Amino acid sequence: MTEPIISIAMTSPPFLPFTRPSIDEPTITEVAQVLRSGWLTGGPKVLEFEAALSRYCQGRTVRTFNSGSAALTIALRLAGIGPDDEVLTSPLTWVATPNVVLEVGARPVFVDVDPVSRNIDLSAVEANIGPRTRALLPVDLAGLPVNRELLYAIASKHRLRVIEDAAQSLGAQWHGQPIGASGDFVAFSFHANKNITTGEGGALVIPDDIDSALCERMRLQGVFRNQNGDMDVDIRGTKSNLTDIAAAIGIGQLKRLSELTHRRRELARYYFECIRQDMGLDLPAADFVQSNWHMFQVLLPIGTDRRAFIEAMKTEGIGVGVHYPAAHLFTLYRTLGYAPGDFPVAEDIGRRTVTLPLFAAMSHADVQRVCIALEKTLLNAGC
C-alpha cells in the first residue's frame, strides 16, 4: 500500500497596499458610543475635535469640514478671492488644489516646481505675479513643508494672501513649529489615505483678521440664527460641515499623531538604507525632521514603462500609487491654455513618480519586501 500524498499549500504574504489607516480600538469604541448617542452630525464631538486641533495649532482658531477641498474653497472665499482674480499654485498636486480656485471663479496660475523638494519653486514665483494676483496657494507635497520664511516674505512684499494647502503635512513642522501654528490660512485633510483620518474630512486654521462665525455660516448654507430663534441667510453657503462620527475618529487619531509621525519617519529612513543606489531611482529629499512622510515617492528611471512597473509590483503583492500627474496636462486645464512643455520639471516628475507603501503599521520586514520587489521588477526588461 502506497503512502498518501500530503499536499502542503504555500501561502503568499498578504498584499501590501501603498497606505492603510491605523485606527485603534479605543477610537472604534468611541465611534460606537457616538452612534448610540443619537447625535450623529455636527455636535459636541465636533467642538471637542476643533478644540483639540486648536491646542495643536498653539491656540489658533480651527474649524472643521467634510473634506480638505471644502476647507480650501472656504479659505479662498474668506480671503475674498473671486472672478478675475489669479492664484499662484503648483501643478504637481492632487487636482483638488487648482479645482478649488476655479470653484470660486478665479484662475489658477501654475508655477513649476523645484526638482529637489518637488514643491512650488519659490524662486520663480515673483516672475509670475501680475496685477490680478491675489493669493499664493502652495502645496506641501508628500508632507515636506514649503519654505515658510521665503513664502511669507514674497507674500508680504506683494501684499498677497496665503492659503497653505497643508492637506498632506499635518504632523510636519517648520523650524520646530507645527505646520498650522503660524501663517495665514492653513487647510488640512483627513481623507482616508492621510496620516490621520476622519474617513473623510478637513480643517481650516483661520487667521485673526477673519471672522470665524462667517466661516461657520459659509460651511452650513449661510444660515445665521438669532438668539430668539429667528434665522436669516445673507450669503451663499455650502453644506460642508463635519459629522460627530467623523470627529470621534479624528479625536482618537489626533492623540496618536506624534506616534504615527515618528513611525513614518523611521520607516522612511529605513527605505533609504534598503534602496540600492544602482537601482537608478531618484529618491525624495531625505528630511527626517520637518517632513511627516505622508508618502514615500521615488522617480523611476527615464524610459521605464510605469504601467508595466505597477503591474509587476502588484504581481509581487506590492501596491503602488501615482501621486501625481502634472495637473496642467488634464483636459480641463488645457482648455485654459496650458500645454505640454509649460512646466518641464513638474511634467518629468509627474511622468516618473510612483508612491511606495508607507504607513505606520508597516514593519521593517515590509520595507525589505518592497525593496526586494523593486529590484526584481526594475531588472525586468519589460519595465
- What is the structure's pLDDT at 383? 54
CATH of the domain at 100: 3.40.640.10
Kindly state whether residues 66 and 106 are assigned to the same domain: yes
Kindly state whether residues 242 and 136 are assigned to the same domain: yes
User: Do residues 141 and 92 lie in contact, with contact meaning Cβ atoms separated by under 8 Å?
Assistant: yes
In a domain, 305, yes or no: yes
Kindly state whether residues 261 and 245 are assigned to the same domain: no
Kindly state whether residues 67 and 186 are assigned to the same domain: yes
Kindly state whether residues 80 and 146 are assigned to the same domain: yes
- What is the structure's pLDDT at 61? 98
Kindly state whether residues 333 and 370 are assigned to the same domain: yes
Kindly state whether residues 284 and 354 are assigned to the same domain: yes
For residue 208, what is its C-alpha cell? 485673526
Q: Over range 79-88, report the average pLDDT.
A: 98
Residue 19 has pLDDT above 80, yes or no: yes
Kindly state whether residues 368 and 296 are assigned to the same domain: yes
- What is the structure's pLDDT at 13? 87
Q: Which domain holds residue 99?
A: 25-255
In a domain, 45, yes or no: yes
Q: Over the range 272-302, which residues count as b (16 or more CB within 10 Å of their CB) and which as e?
A: eebbeeebebbebeebeebbbbbbbbbbbee
Kindly state whether residues 291 and 250 are assigned to the same domain: no
Q: Over range 94-121, report the average pLDDT.
A: 98
Residue 231 has pLDDT above 60, yes or no: yes
- What is the structure's pLDDT at 173? 98
pLDDT one-digit tens code per residue, 355-368: 999 999 999 999 99
Mean pLDDT of the chain: 95
Amino acid at 341: G
Residue 6 has pLDDT above 50, yes or no: no
Q: Over range 195-221, report the average pLDDT.
A: 97
Phi first, then psi: what are they for 14, rounded to 5°?
Answer: -65, 150
Q: Over range 32-52, report the average pLDDT.
A: 96
- Using 50, 70 and 90 to split pLDDT, how confident is the model at 9? very low
- Using 50, 70 and 90 to split pLDDT, how confident is the model at 227? confident
User: Do residues 207 and 76 lie in contact, with contact meaning Cβ atoms separated by under 8 Å?
Assistant: no
User: Do residues 67 and 189 lie in contact, with contact meaning Cβ atoms separated by under 8 Å?
Assistant: yes
Q: Over the range 177-194, which residues count as b (16 or more CB within 10 Å of their CB) and which as e?
A: ebbbbbbbbbbbbbbebb
Query: Which residue matches cell numbers 534598503?
Result: 274
In a domain, 7, yes or no: no
CA dist., res. 348 & res. 130, Å (int): 27
CATH of the domain at 306: 3.90.1150.10
Q: Which of 45, 194, 239, 255 is catalytic?
A: 194
Domain termination residue (choose one: 255, 282, 303): 255
Percent of the chain with pLDDT over 70: 96
Kindly state whether residues 308 and 204 are assigned to the same domain: no
pLDDT one-digit tens code per residue, 291-319: 999 999 999 999 999 999 999 999 999 99
Amino acid at 133: T
- What is the structure's pLDDT at 177? 97
- What is the structure's pLDDT at 11? 65
Lowest-confidence segment of 64-73, 227-236, 316-325, 370-379 by average pLDDT: 227-236
Whether the CA torsion 277, 282, 288, 294 is positive or negative: it is negative
Kindly state whether residues 189 and 314 are assigned to the same domain: no
Task: Give the chain's domain count.
Answer: 2
- Using 50, 70 and 90 to split pLDDT, how confident is the model at 379? confident
Does the annotation mark 45 as catalytic? no
